[in-house]
């Protein structure tokens, strides 16, 4: 429904799976060299300012990517779900992590050590092409996020966040996210977010059940977002 009514791709968290189309021998090589890592909800995968040791493929769960300001407040700028890749940006440019990544749910990762990762992309143009496509999409989303924060109201940003989160969680018109994480994604205080959500509830755009938001009127939430 949202796809047909709202041109959302330039705001979407849906990155491509870079290992979707790879030869069997490469897939076997990766499987032989991965290191499985399991983390619980709210645990941190890596911190801003630390040195990358490889790239992570998220096999199960949901992840937030965020930067922390001088006041300690998080700014969530991207979300990752199953088969997404993390840690490649800073590994490729040989810099420390420019952001942190933490679990929104219990997660399973496959760590590909950096030596293995570099050998894979050096010898496989299709994977390298998919990786560049992934990075380009995330950069485009980041640029649009910057524009949104500078030019749009909290009400408009909240409406857009509901559309994006509905797509990301794939729960058919509802999603569950803490008010703290939701406000850090919108770029506002928890109190301001709650006020807007209750306005949407009064307008019969959404229903609220604890941290779960249920979209009741997709067209109205698109209108409230005021994005073209």
Separation CA 8–CA 3 (nearest Å): 7
Q: Where are the domains of the chain?
A: 14-138, 152-225
* pLDDT number for residue 2: 47
Longest dimension (CA), the chain: 57
Contact between 57 and 85 under an 8 Å Cβ cutoff? The reply is yes
| Helix ranges (DSSP H) in 20-107 | 24-33, 88-92
Separation CA 43–CA 195 (nearest Å): 29
CATH of domain 152-225: 1.10.10.10
Residues in the chain: 228
* pLDDT number for residue 72: 82
Ranges of residues in the chain whose predicted pLDDT is under 50: 1-5
Three-state DSSP class for 213? strand
* pLDDT number for residue 228: 60
* pLDDT number for residue 16: 63
- State which H helix or E strand residue 63 sits in: strand 63-68
Separation CA 45–CA 162 (nearest Å): 26
Three-state DSSP class for 23? coil
* pLDDT number for residue 5: 46
Same fold, 14-138 and 152-225: no
* pLDDT number for residue 60: 96
CATH architecture for segment(s) 14-138: Sandwich (2.60)
* pLDDT number for residue 10: 62
pLDDT per residue over 116-134, tens digit each?
999 888 888 878 888 888 8
Separation CA 18–CA 115 (nearest Å): 18
pLDDT per residue over 83-120, tens digit each?
899 999 999 999 999 999 999 999 999 999 999 999 88
Phi/psi of residue 223, nearest 5 degrees? -65, -40
* pLDDT number for residue 11: 65
Give the bridge partners for 219, in sequence order.
none
């Amino acid at each position: 429904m949202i796809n047909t009514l709202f041109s959302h791709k330039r705001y979407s968290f849906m990155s491509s799976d870079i290992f979707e189309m790879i030869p069997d021998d490469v897939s076997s090589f990766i499987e032989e060299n991965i290191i499985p890592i399991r983390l619980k909800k709210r645990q941190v995968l890596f911190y801003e300012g630390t040195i990358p040791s490889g790239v992570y493929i998220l096999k199960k769960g949901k992840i937030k990517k965020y930067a922390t300001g001088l006041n300690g407040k998080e700014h969530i700028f991207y979300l990752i779900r199953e088969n997404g890749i993390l840690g490649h940006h800073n590994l490729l440019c040989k810099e420390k992590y420019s952001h942190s990544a933490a679990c929104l749910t219990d997660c399973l990762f496959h760590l590909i050590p950096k030596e293995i990762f570099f050998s894979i992309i050096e010898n496989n143009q299709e994977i390298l092409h998919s990786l560049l496509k992934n990075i380009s999409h995330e950069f485009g989303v980041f640029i649009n996020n910057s524009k949104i924060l500078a030019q749009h109201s909290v009400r408009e940003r909240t409406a857009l966040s509901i559309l994006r989160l509905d797509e990301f969680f794939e729960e058919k018109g509802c999603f569950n996210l803490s008010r703290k994480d939701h406000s850090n994604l919108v770029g506002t205080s928890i109190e301001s977010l709650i006020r807007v959500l209750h306005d949407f509830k009064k307008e019969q755009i959404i229903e609220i059940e604890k941290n779960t938001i249920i979209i009741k009127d997709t067209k109205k939430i698109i209108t409230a977002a005021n994005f073209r």
